[in-house]
Amino acid sequence: MTPFSSSVGGGWWSAMAVVLALCLLMLFNTESSSAARLLNTTSSISRRQHLPNGLGSTPPMGWNSWNHFQCHIEENLIRETADAVVSTGLAALGYQYINLDDCWAELNRDYQGNLVPKASTFPSGIKALADYVHGKGLKLGIYSDAGIQTCSKTMPGSLGHEEQDAKTFASWEIDYLKYDNCHNTGTSPKERYPEMSKALLKSGRSIFFSLCEWGQEDPATWAKGVGNSWRTTGDIGDNWHSMTSRADQNDKWASYAGPGGWNDPDMLEVGNGGMTTEEYRAHFSIWALAKAPLLIGSDVRAMDSTTLEILSNKEVIAVNQDELGAQGKKVKWGDDLEVWAGPLSSKRIAVVLWNRSSSKATLTVNWPDIGLTENTIVDARDLWAHSTQSSVSGSLSAELDSHACKMYVLTPK
């Protein structure tokens, strides 16, 4: 081997050694734990273009008719609900959307092809209802479908009428559209949903666009430029198994959420009666941490004090509405004992300790689990007890009843 080839070979090995060292250093610094990845808020998804309608900088908050009333809706119910959202103080906390779900329209369009409000239940029309809701300082949402009929089969879908329906909704001064995926033509939602998205952008009104194809084609991977939120799960039921399974299904898409576009594990069941107080508290805590839309699904006109207390927890709502917009996720689990966590603005961290087992248990979160060094000192704010532990270091523990949780905001000192 010539001196020239020898020197090149030596340089090659030296370069490879440097590259290997750098790779090991990067691996150690950024890949040593799931918590480190969780708390890295500069992922590529944050740079992805979102729907240019200026909406959804934080997850939407409001009420939807489906979970409690299903097709049994009429205009007086909607007016009374708007009244109750204001009188209970929920509106002042950020619950602003009053959303009609399925069954608000006649079975057939009019002779011009327009959607027609159902005369027996909405005799005053949708524009008059929007005026009433807007007069309360709230916003009105409506429902349609990316197929030929809605899921109830009682009203038309918008397939083939996207631009016409978007203009109708804008003329009624609608603020939010939930768009289902029933009775479609078998084509992909990736083909049909952008048509309504473009129509809404051309309608002359800013309308929040909520995609609801139940996560069937992984919308988190493609819907950020199409809608402001997208369902990641099937419909929720008012029971423990349904709620927890939706939380888990939604969790894997955490890195795709952010300001302008949110993962949606479906609406809240808090107050509908199928779960315990502790289970509803956990439901609300996880939805808030996961930056899910907070859409009340119960009858706010008849809430008991416990339901109102859960839904009106300002500190938990603040986690959901945090300006950083980073979805929290599950970071530690085993034996149905789980730690969920996520970063907040001002270098704070939100943490949920969740006992999903059938008996009382003690849960501990260690600082490395959530991306903190062991010697970090924090103030730990308990968001349900509304109390603060000062100068906590290393770890935090709580004894929890079955299906109960504790939720904290940790502020490094």
Backbone Cα Rg of the chain: 24
Q: Which two tokens stand for residue 52?
A: 């240019």
Contact 147, 165 (CB under 8 A): no
Whole-number Cα distances in Å, 155 to 16, 98, 115, 159, 273: 66, 20, 9, 12, 29
Q: Which two tokens stand for residue 354?
A: 């969740």
Q: Which residue among the candidates 83, 131, 235, 382 is catalytic per the annotation?
A: 235
Q: Which residue among the candidates 180, 238, 299, 322 is catalytic per the annotation?
A: 180
- State the Cα–Cα distance between residues 74 and 67, nearest whole angstrom: 15
Reply yes or no on whether 248 is catalytic. no
Partners of 361 in the β-ladder: 400
CA nearest to 42, candidates 402, 299, 325: 325
- State the Cα–Cα distance between residues 146 and 156, nearest whole angstrom: 10
Angle formed by the axes of helices 240-251 and 277-289, nearest 10°: 10
Reply yes or no on whether 235 is catalytic. yes
Any idea which residues carry the catalytic annotation? 180, 235
